[in-house]
Amino acid sequence: MPEITLFVGDITELSTDAIVNAANYHLWIGSGVAGAIKRAGGQEIEDEALKKGPIPVGEAVATRAGRLKARYVIHAAAMGQDLRTDADKIRKATENSLKRADELGLKSIAFPALGTGVGGFPLDTAAKVMIAAVRDHLAGQSSLTGVVFALRGAEALRAFQKELDAQNEGAREQNQG
């Protein structure tokens, strides 16, 4: 099974094949993760994204990564114009990001905690939804060998570590039964 890891720090510093942008459906880049990606990678990321939008909430599109260490940015529309999200939107945005990575034949991808910034979604629920979506995807055919959750701070790390441990334990119990 491909590896799921947690990283605390700036997603723009990672050398994964792709990093995921917590995007809005218009794909314009504002603040938060998106703003950090634009500052580090350059205006060309937003310019290319805007040509592909708007997209349905829950969908994802890939662009080149400008000056980032990653090769691609996958823009996951986890919220609509109202800047609100829910578990279903986050799940679909995660799944579609993984599909874009497979379509590009990528080996590694890094996700922020989608919807937990501007979208105000609870960290523990985002962790549960996103980790489950990743595990389900990796259980099938995928080019991915590594998925990183790039988290901002101790609270996010605790939420994702707790959920990752719980899902790993559940998988172990299922395999023994």
pLDDT tens for 11-28 read 999 999 999 999 999 999
Q: Which two tokens stand for residue 157?
A: 């790390």
Mean pLDDT of 165-169: 88
Taking the complete model, does pTM exceed 0.75, yes or no? Answer: yes
Contact 112, 33 (CB under 8 A): yes
What is the average pLDDT value for the chain, to the nearest integer? 94
46, 135, 59, 45: which is closest to 90 by C-alpha?
59
95-131 pLDDT, tens per residue? 999 999 999 999 999 999 999 988 899 999 999 999 9
| Domain extents in the chain | 3-176
Q: What CA–CA distance (Å, rounded) separates 151 from 28?
A: 22
Q: Which fold has domain 3-176?
A: Leucine Aminopeptidase, subunit E; domain 1 (3.40.220)
